[in-house]
Chain A
């Protein structure tokens, strides 16, 4: 009896565990501290939007979550395990590169400038990591890639090279590429700000459908409308710190902080 109770507890515990937990993180480039003791939690299935002025450290924070940047202090946990480090007592030891790579495979990232691999077709872009990193069979990966392309509305473009696709199409392929690794969390760094205005909608539509399906997402964006509609919670960042955080409606409609009000006044 006791065992079944404890295992049920464990499951319950696992379900509560945040997908991403950022605890008192500091990060400097040289002498300049760009993240100044920042803490955040993202629950499983939650969509968190981060807004804030240019240079406030949004991209840096996102890049720390998959250890593209090393943090100097604090910790980031992904589904309960330390990102990039092994904990021994009070210190965190950086992991080996292969272990870091294995961790990154669980975090998807979508970049402002897409960064599709230009020498590969849309389909090849998507199956590259599943086949090469997760060692899926090519047939299996291809079948899933086709389903993903269909889902982002590009079923007919699987043979196209990135150079032959519009910005919006490239970004949708990039999202499919990230999804192909079945990530625990998807990070978006201003996914629409390099796009022509008329192409923004198609990318946001895809992101909206992901949110509806319960994909955990952290989205750095300047699209306040999108944040209001899709985000569960919104974080306003300035100068490497969280200034205000709360439900999307609260932060965006009736901000408590003066700095948030000023920022929203400028971008809206």
Chain B
């Protein structure tokens, strides 16, 4: 008897009757509501302060937001990011597969690539490529250890744009190699074995079986990487890469409207990263095929759900 009390049955109530209509009420999260209210008030205050601050020069912000020189920078940032991402993804795939290969030489090369390009700052790499002519005044193709070959002055070949693509792309490649490798490792070995048992070659197993499944694991960090790259591309401003930040600096160097122009740049970066976020959602949904339960939620539903501070838990979250 006393044992029953100890095991929590002390306040047992009468057993329910079948005739009763018992309703369940989910747990309410009142502290969450209070926290949300406080955050909202603080946000409103911040926005009103910014909106009425004369130093913000909102008219300047509006003016420069769509000025040709800034738009030129936005375009360059997009081009640069897309090209570096393509280069980086390609390198990442190649080096990840090399890293997983049976061939020790390929594994070692891949390891050192990641070690070097992940281990040195992007900015240093960018400046290095930009100043390549200090090391090699002329570059070209030829037979090693002979004078046979064709070449050109380095500075005429390695433009700021090429230096930017090389610096960022090689760096992204190192991170992508690790992301892809993680994705490949996440796939059950039984998958490649089943495919091998059907007579598929290793290349085919990678392409048809492992990578498509690894995509689900690879995509979220890749989206992260892309957004990171959008912002990291602003570092090419150091080598006059002509991107959004380069243009922004050029404008405020002339008119000294530093804050409004930085706001303009920030707005554009936010717009670009938001677009990337949406794109990521659709790509992820495509590769979620076969995962019946997970893809059921639409983007709209997901947004609404995340934006509701008072959201309450329903059985199926």
Contacts and interface: CB of A to CB of B under 8 A. Distances in A.
Interface in A110-146: 111, 113, 115-120, 128-129, 132-134
A133 B188 CA distance: 22
Contacts of B291: 118, 163
Contact of A105 (B199, B209, B212): B199
Contacts, number: 78
The 9 nearest A-B residue pairs measured at CB: A105-B199, A115-B194, A129-B198, A161-B290, A109-B197, A115-B190, A133-B199, A104-B199, A118-B290
A128 B197 contact: no
A240 to B, nearest CB: 21
Nearest to B102: A97
A62 B196 CA distance: 14
A113 B188 CA distance: 11
B190 A101 contact: no
B202 interface: yes
B191 interface: yes
Contacts of A97: 201-202
Nearest to A63: B193
B212 A119 contact: yes
Nearest to A117: B209
A163 B196 CA distance: 22
Given A104-B199, A105-B199, A107-B197, A128 B191 contact: no
Nearest to B294: A163
A68 B193 contact: yes
Contacts of B212: 119
B200 A119 contact: no
Contacts of A161: 289-290, 292
Interface of A: 66, 68, 97-98, 101-109, 111, 113, 115-120, 128-129, 132-134, 161-164, 174, 177-178, 181
B208 A128 contact: yes
B199 A129 contact: yes
Contacts of A177: 198
Contact of B292 (A128, A163, A178): A163
Contacts of A109: 194, 197
Contact of B196 (A98, A104, A178): A104
Of residues A104, A105, A161, which shows the largest number of chain B Cβ atoms within 10 Å of its Cβ?
A: A104
Contact of B197 (A66, A113, A164): A66
Contact of B194 (A111, A119, A132, A163): A111
Of residues A118, A120, A161, which shows the largest number of chain B Cβ atoms within 10 Å of its Cβ?
A: A118
B213 interface: yes
Interface in B196-224: 196-202, 204, 208-209, 212-213
A117 B293 CA distance: 17
B283 to A, nearest CB: 14
Interface in B288-308: 289-293
Interface in B157-192: 188, 190-191
A147 B196 CA distance: 24
5 contacts: A97-B201, A104-B199, A106-B199, A111-B194, A164-B292
Interface string B236-275: 0000000000000000000000000000000000000000
Contacts of B289: 119, 161
A132 B200 contact: yes
Contacts of A128: 198, 200, 208
A117 to B, nearest CB: 6
Of residues A103, A105, A132, which shows the largest number of chain B Cβ atoms within 10 Å of its Cβ?
A: A132
Nearest to A128: B208
B194 A105 contact: no
A113 B209 CA distance: 17
Nearest to B194: A115
A258 to B, nearest CB: 36
Contact of A111 (B190, B199, B204): B190
Contacts of A104: 196-199
B292 to A, nearest CB: 5
Contacts of A178: 197-198
A178 B199 CA distance: 10
Nearest to A106: B199
Contacts of A162: 290
